[in-house]
Amino acid sequence: MTATIIDGKAIAAQVRADVAERVKALQAKGIQPGLAAVLVGDDPASHIYVGSKQKACAEVGMYSEKVEMPADVTQEKVLEEIERLNADPKISGMIVQLPVPDHISELALQMAVAPEKDVDCLGPTNVGLLARGKGILLPATPYGVVELLVRSDIPIQGKDVVIVGRSGLVGMPLGIMLAQKNDRANATVTICHTRTADMTSHTRRADILVVAAGKASAVTGDMVKPGAVVIDVGINRTEDGIVGDVDFESAKEVAGAITPVPGGVGPMTVAMLMVNTVTAAEALAARS
């Protein structure tokens, strides 16, 4: 058996097309959604990520703004810039690109972003709303994983989902989202991590296996239940190129469906950031 490939690029294109229609509807009312990215330091990967987000904004008709600050900038200066963007009516969504230099507190920056503009869903207000099932803005990568499953007609309700990795960016929020009582969730969720005993016993019973371990080939084909859906969130740069956290060649011979790396979850993260930004703009318009 060879798995069906879940094409994240194609599904992300569908999502962006939907966003573009929502942007046009807002523009017809005189409202222009806008996304600001605050970039501190000269991390090459961060510049690439921000560039991809700006490109996506242009594709869906959104305004975008990149605020670049040197690596030795003070935390106070970054907070001042965030406050400026909070007050700017052109900006409906804001992200602070991670990582930031060691002398700057990630949490302090995330707490400073106005909740209604926190399209990364990293501030405590939106994390709390997410945990209570009341989130309007959802964390982009977990949101993208759910959207991949839904748009691929993969049932979630009643399924055993195992997530490998408990990060605050992916594993933990995704577990919360998939366990909640709604028609895009209602799964039984297990979160595995570096202290999990006999991880294979967990991964081999998963109907849906999501791997966000941060380690190349952390999951191999013998750890996958025959016919399972495998979602690989990892991005690892190796001598052989970019690979995921799943050993794709062995897993695809066992799984029923699988995401590739690149071309799987990655495009969805940017697409769902566009969804959050237009959602934020719509909410702001409704309050005006």
Q: Are 258 and 246 in contact (CB under 8 A)?
A: yes
Verify whether residue 97 is a known catalytic residue. yes
Classify domain 30-114 at the CATH class level: alpha beta
> What kind of fold does domain 141-266 have according to CATH?
Rossmann fold (3.40.50)
Q: Given this model, what pLDDT does residue 149 score? A: 98
Q: Are 38 and 88 in contact (CB under 8 A)?
A: no
With residues binned 3-state (H G I as helix, E B as strand, rest as coil), the percentages for the chain, rounded to 5, are 45, 15, 40
Grouped pLDDT means (10 residues each) for the chain, 288 residues: 93 98 97 97 88 95 97 97 97 96 96 97 96 96 98 98 97 98 97 96 98 96 98 92 95 98 96 98 88
H-type alpha helices, 28-154: 44-60, 75-87, 106-112, 124-131, 140-151
Q: Given this model, what pLDDT does residue 45 score? A: 84
Task: Write out the two tokens for 151.
Answer: 């748009």
- The structure's pTM equals 0.95
Verify whether residue 43 is a known catalytic residue. no
Same fold, 30-114 and 141-266: yes
Q: Given this model, what pLDDT does residue 1 score? A: 64
The residue extents of the domains of the chain are 30-114, 141-266
Across the beta sheet with 188-192, the strand order is 4-5, 257-258, 229-232, 208-211, 160-164, 188-192
Q: Choose the catalytic residue: 110, 118, 120, 159.
A: 120
- Quote the radius of gyration of the chain (alpha carbons, Å): 19
Verify whether residue 120 is a known catalytic residue. yes
Q: Choose the catalytic residue: 53, 117, 159, 225.
A: 53
Q: Given this model, what pLDDT does residue 41 score? A: 93
Q: Given this model, what pLDDT does residue 238 score? A: 87
Task: Write out the two tokens for 33.
Answer: 């959604």
